[in-house]
């Protein structure tokens, strides 16, 4: 996949200051891309941009992805500065353990959905019209999760939000089927990032963020509609889909829960 002839990829990434987003920024910068980097923390964004190859080419946008007006303004600035966008990756995401019986967790549910689902829509929306006018292939990339395959105890907000990302991206893929835009869903398993650092349960097939970014970039270039990384977790995901509810409940009803926000 390339942009216009002789032009480097133009890549816009949310959640870029750490974890998967930062790893993707390093991967694409190493490939010669020009980047638009979005995250809340200005200092971390500036440090990241300065450390990337071609540092002077990249633009940073310190904002909260739940501020949809600011996100649209950043998209407009990136499109104007670079004449288009080839890849847009909605990588911003948060994760907290939640229990529906705890009233104090309702705002946490709302925040998780706003960041993981609403901001994914708001990230893609400002780019679609411009991408349709471009001559080359384009990609909209949603970052889901293996956690979106089946609900897990104490992780209702995160699991449901990532299932919603999967379904939303599938709907968008159908909407854009006859265009030059491919919608790619990447479902990470356990990736070594700050988000997974405090998990209180085993994390099989734990993958480095750098290795994840390289394999994700390859899947994005191919235009894969859906890809689980690492591949071993793809097999686990297929098995989880096939488990009858009674067996699934018996196995996972006593699994350790994710740390809740008030426990952090």
Q: Catalytic one among 28, 158, 168, 190? A: 158
Is 190 part of the annotated catalytic residue set? no
Nearest to 22 by CA among 40, 49, 2, 1: 49
d(CA 180, CA 178): 7
CA–CA dist 74, 16 (Å, integer): 14
In 3-state terms the chain splits into helix, strand, coil percentages (rounded to 5) of: 50, 15, 35
The C-alpha angle with vertex 183 and arms to 177 and 188, in degrees rounded to 5, equals 150
**Tokens encoding 184:** 């790619």
* Beta-bridge partner residues of 90: 142
H-helix segments, the chain? 19-30, 42-51, 68-82, 106-113, 119-132, 156-175, 209-222, 231-242, 245-252
> How far apart (Å, rounded) are the C-alpha atoms in residues 39 and 253?
36
All residues at 6 or more sequence positions from 156 whose CB lies less than 8 Å from its CB, including other chains: 98, 99, 100, 109
Q: Which residues pair with 214 in a beta bridge?
A: none
Burial label for 171, CB within 10 Å (0-12, 13-18, 19+), is exposed
Q: How many CB atoms lie within 10 A of CB 163?
A: 18
Which residues are known catalytic residues?
Answer: 158
């Amino acid at each position: 996949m390339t942009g216009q002839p002789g032009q480097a990829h133009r890549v816009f990434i949310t959640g870029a200051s750490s974890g998967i987003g930062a790893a993707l920024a390093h991967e694409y910068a190493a490939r010669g891309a020009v980047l638009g980097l979005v995250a809340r923390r200005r200092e971390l964004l500036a440090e990241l941009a300065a450390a990337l190859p071609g540092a002077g080419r990249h633009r940073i946008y310190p904002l909260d992805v739940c501020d949809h007006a600011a996100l649209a303004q950043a998209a407009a600035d990136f499109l104007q500065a670079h004449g288009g966008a080839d890849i847009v990756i909605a990588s911003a995401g948060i994760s907290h353990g939640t229990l529906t019986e705890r009233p104090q967790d309702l705002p946490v549910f709302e925040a998780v959905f706003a960041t993981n689902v609403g901001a994914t829509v708001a990230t893609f929306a400002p780019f679609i019209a411009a991408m349709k006018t471009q001559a080359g292939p384009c990609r909209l990339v949603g970052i889901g999760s293996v956690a979106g395959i089946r609900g897990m105890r104490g992780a209702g907000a995160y699991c449901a939000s990532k299932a919603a990302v999967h379904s939303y991206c599938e709907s968008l893929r159908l909407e854009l089927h006859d265009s030059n835009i491919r919608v790619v869903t990447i479902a990470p398993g356990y990736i070594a990032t700050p988000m997974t650092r405090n998990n209180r349960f085993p994390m099989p097939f734990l993958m480095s963020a750098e290795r994840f970014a390289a394999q994700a970039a390859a899947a994005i270039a191919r235009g894969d509609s859906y890809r689980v990384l690492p591949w071993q977790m793809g097999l686990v995901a297929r098995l989880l889909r096939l488990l009858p509810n009674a067996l699934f409940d018996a196995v996972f009803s006593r699994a350790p829960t994710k740390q809740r926000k008030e426990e952090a």
